[in-house]
Chains A and B, each alone.
Chain A
């Protein structure tokens, strides 16, 4: 079955540590996205990628970094510069890059907490 796989499901970060969240898709989608969700809030866009080796900042990119070396993979690194990283992180993909009329498909998220 095609879909988006996020790992790990739970992740704990120590102060000063960088952590990387994995996102893999086998839907052959061009575009991929990372969102952050805080309790009782909507989703906020961190980064998005429209094509391999290209990515753009979203609304809250500070303290995060990404790479897109393969079409299937879009890992997110939460750096030590992100002072409030505790949140639920969601990865999504869509067939075409931000064409507007395409739904987004989501993984099941990674919950990141500070130790």
Chain B
């Protein structure tokens, strides 16, 4: 199974509401990253949180990381229709000097106007 798995697979909310997506992983990580993908486009990096950090903010985004539970959450506050996209978590792991970024299957967020 994937190293990072997002939950839920799909989320539909009304504009102005908050959206919370979760990511669980299995092995120790160096950092965890969140990306956004609009339909038919490439991924856009949103935020990176290191393994020794617990919370990080960027604009309307808040990411938390709980290494004891091997989980992370992405909160988007006051959502807008333009936030409609797929959101992926990616975990950075290493073996010696080799690093690897592993992506989950994503959460499809729909924000209804």
- In the complex, residue of chain B having the shortest beta-carbon distance to the beta carbon of A94: B101
CA–CA, A90 and B41, complex, Å = 9
Q: A100-B99, A101-B92 are in contact. Are A109 and B41 (CB under 8 A)?
A: yes
Query: Shortest Cβ distance from A8 into chain B, in angstroms?
Result: 14
- In the complex, residue of chain A having the shortest beta-carbon distance to the beta carbon of B34: A103
CA–CA, A99 and B105, complex, Å = 23
Cβ contact of B42, chosen from A42, A99, A106, cutoff 8 A: A106
Query: Shortest Cβ distance from B102 into chain A, in angstroms?
Result: 8
CA–CA, A107 and B44, complex, Å = 9
Contact residues in A for B50 (Cβ distance below 8 Å) = 101
The tally of residues in B whose CB lies under 8 Å from a CB in A reads 25
Query: Shortest Cβ distance from A106 into chain B, in angstroms?
Result: 3
The total number of A-B Cβ pairs within 8 Å is: 55
8 A Cβ contacts from B19-70 to A: 30-31, 33, 40-45, 48, 50
Contact residues in B for A100 (Cβ distance below 8 Å) = 30-31, 92, 94, 99
Cβ contact of A90, chosen from B43, B48, B92, B94, cutoff 8 A: B43
Mask: chain B, 94-107; 1 = CB below 8 Å from A; 0 = not: 10001111111110
- In the complex, residue of chain A having the shortest beta-carbon distance to the beta carbon of B9: A40
- In the complex, residue of chain B having the shortest beta-carbon distance to the beta carbon of A102: B48
- State the 6 A-B residue pairs at the shortest beta-carbon distance, nearest first: A106-B42, A103-B45, A42-B103, A98-B99, A100-B99, A43-B103
Binding site for B on A (CB under 8 A): 4, 6, 35, 40-45, 90, 92, 98-101, 103-109, 111
